[in-house]
Amino acid sequence: MQFFYRLAADVVVIVHLVYVAFVVIGLVAILIGIVRRWAWVRGWTFRLLHLLAIGLVVVQAVLGVTCPLTVWEKQLRTLGGQASYPGDFLAHWAHDMLFFDAQPWVFTLIYCLFGLLVLVTYLFAPPRKRARIGT
């Protein structure tokens, strides 16, 4: 049974990494897309989901709430008999990319500044309900 908890914890880490990648790579794509006039980066659904994704992170950080994915992973690791974060190669690599040591205020500041940058792009290059083809 411990194997399944460990596997589930590894899956949670991968989901967490995908979430972070969506937020970070999404902003990079938006910034490049604004300059290059890619229509898809102005898509209403994509931009709203992106804004909500970083907004959730900012709200959690400001309120001092630990990310539910982090809590869930730690619980699954404990149930799997793991005291640290070993996992398989991909899960270990993903975990190391997501977590590093710093004071909590550093993360809150980073999240808030990143969220502000996303909001600025949202305001200065707002999404369109229907992206125009060719622009």
pLDDT at 25: 97
pLDDT at 90: 53
Residue 13 lies in a domain: yes
Residue 133 lies in a domain: no
Residue 105 lies in a domain: yes
Q: Which residue did the predictor score with more confidence, 98 or 10? A: 10
In tens, the pLDDT along 83-130 reads 655 555 456 666 677 777 778 888 899 999 999 999 999 999 999 876
Instruction: Examine the pLDDT at 67 and tell me if it is beyond 70.
Output: yes
In tens, the pLDDT along 16-34 reads 999 999 999 999 999 999 9
The count of structural domains within the chain is: 1
The pTM is what? Answer: 0.81
Residue 85 lies in a domain: yes
Residue 42 lies in a domain: yes
Question: Using CA atoms, how far apart are residues 78 and 53, in angstroms rounded to an integer?
Answer: 28
**Can you give the residue range of the structural domain that contains 7?**
2-124
β-bridge partners, 128: 43
Cβ 16 vs Cβ 69: under 8 Å: yes
Residue 112 lies in a domain: yes
